[in-house]
Amino acid sequence: MSRARLRALVERIRGRRTLVMGDVMLDEYIFGTVSRISPEAPVPVVDVDFDQHASAPGGATNVAHNLRALGAEVAILGVVGDDPQGVALRRHLDELGVDTAGLLVDPERPTTLKTRIIAHTQQVVRVDRECRQPLSTQTEDRLRELLETAVAQGTEAVLLSDYNKGVAHGDLPQAAVRLCRPRGIPVTANPKPPNLARLRGATAVTLNHLEAEAAAGRRLPDEEALREAGQAMRSRLELDALLVTRGSRGMMLLSDDERCRAIPAVPVEVYDVVGAGDTAFATLSLALVAGAGFAEAATLANFAGAAVVRKVGTAVVTPEELLAMIDEHASGVGE
C-alpha cells in the first residue's frame, strides 16, 4: 500500500454515516490535593478543588466522539438513566453534533458513571456507578426498532462498543449482523470476551492482547501462539477479520485476504494510552466504509492509535493529525 493510497482513504472517510450501538457512559474527573492520611483508615484524604471538575463522553460515546473528530456523521444507540448524569452525557453529545435520538432513558437503570479522583496528577481512586444487568425486553425491542430504521435510512456502518453493561447481552449484536451483512454494511465490534459469541458473522472485531487471552482461555506469549488462537477464534466466529492490539508490540491482523499480518508499533513518545483502543476501533471501521482493505484499515488504525497516545487524557484524532502521521511514518509501507 502506498502513502498516497492511505492519504486518499483518510480523505474519503469524511461525511460517512455511522451508527454506534453500545454501553454509553459519562467519565467524571474530580481534582484536589492530598496533604494527610485519614485517621479512620490508611487512605489519603483528598481536599477537593471545586473549581476543577470535568466530565466527558466515555465508553460507546467516546467511540462516537472519535468518529465525529474524523469527520463522520454519527448516531448513537444506547441507554441512560433518568438522572443528571444522563442529561450531562446527552448535552456533551449534542455539542459534538452526535444524533442522540436513539439515546433511550430507562428510569430503572442509572447512567453509567466513572468518577476518577485525581490529586497531584495521580489518580487516587476510581468510583464506578453502573448496572451490569441485561436490558429490559421493552428497551431492547425499542433499540432494535431504531437499528432497523437507521439501516433503512442509509447507515453505512454499525459499530458495537461493548463494555459488558447490558447492551450486548441480548440479541442486538446478532440483529445488527442479520440486518447489515446482506446489505453489504460492515458490522464492527470492540467486545468484551464474555460477549464474543454474540458477534458471530461480524465483519471485524478488535480486541486488546489481554482480551484475546481471556477469549482463548490461555496465555498467548508470542506471535505464534496469538496467530494460532486468533485464527481459531476467527474461524469459530465466522469473522472476516480479527485485529488484536498489542501496545508497544503493535497489532496483529488475521483475515482471509492477509491470513496473518504483524503490524509494528509506530515509534512515538507515549504520554497516555487511555482511549487509544477506541480511536483505533473508530478509525478501522471508518476506513472499511471508505473502501479500505483490512490491511489498509488496520494500518490507518495503527497510525491513529499512535497519534492519540501522544496526548494526555482521553483524546481523539483529527484527519489532519492522521495525515501528518502518514506523512511522518508511512515510508515503511511504500511511497
Q: What is the pLDDT of residues 196-216, one digit of tens each?
A: 999 999 999 999 999 999 999
Establish if 83 belongs to a structural domain. yes
Establish if 140 belongs to a structural domain. yes
Tell me the C-alpha to C-alpha distance, in Å, between residue 7 and each of 1, 18, 258, 323, 328: 11, 21, 21, 6, 12
How many domains is the chain partitioned into structurally?
1
Q: What is the pLDDT of residue 211?
A: 96
Q: What is the pLDDT of residue 53?
A: 87
Establish if 137 belongs to a structural domain. yes
Give the strand pairing for 157-161 and 24-37. unpaired
> 254: domain CATH number?
3.40.1190.20
- Among candidates 24, 20, 18, 22, which has minimal Cα distance to 73? 18
Residue 332 has pLDDT above 80, yes or no: no
Establish if 43 belongs to a structural domain. no
Establish if 74 belongs to a structural domain. yes
Catalytic residue among 23, 162, 240, 278: 278
Q: What is the average per-residue pLDDT within 29-51?
A: 92
- Among candidates 58, 62, 70, which has minimal Cα distance to 297? 70
Establish if 172 belongs to a structural domain. yes
Known catalytic membership, residue 47: no
Structural domain of 7: 3-25+58-112+132-333
How far is 58 from 278, CA to CA, in rounded Å? 10
Phi–psi pair at 298, nearest 5 degrees: -65, -35
CB 125 within 8 Å of CB 38: no
User: Which of 247 and 139 is assigned the larger pLDDT?
Assistant: 139
Establish if 246 belongs to a structural domain. yes
Residue 64 has pLDDT above 80, yes or no: yes
Establish if 67 belongs to a structural domain. yes
Which helix (H) or strand (E) is 28 found in, with range? strand 24-37
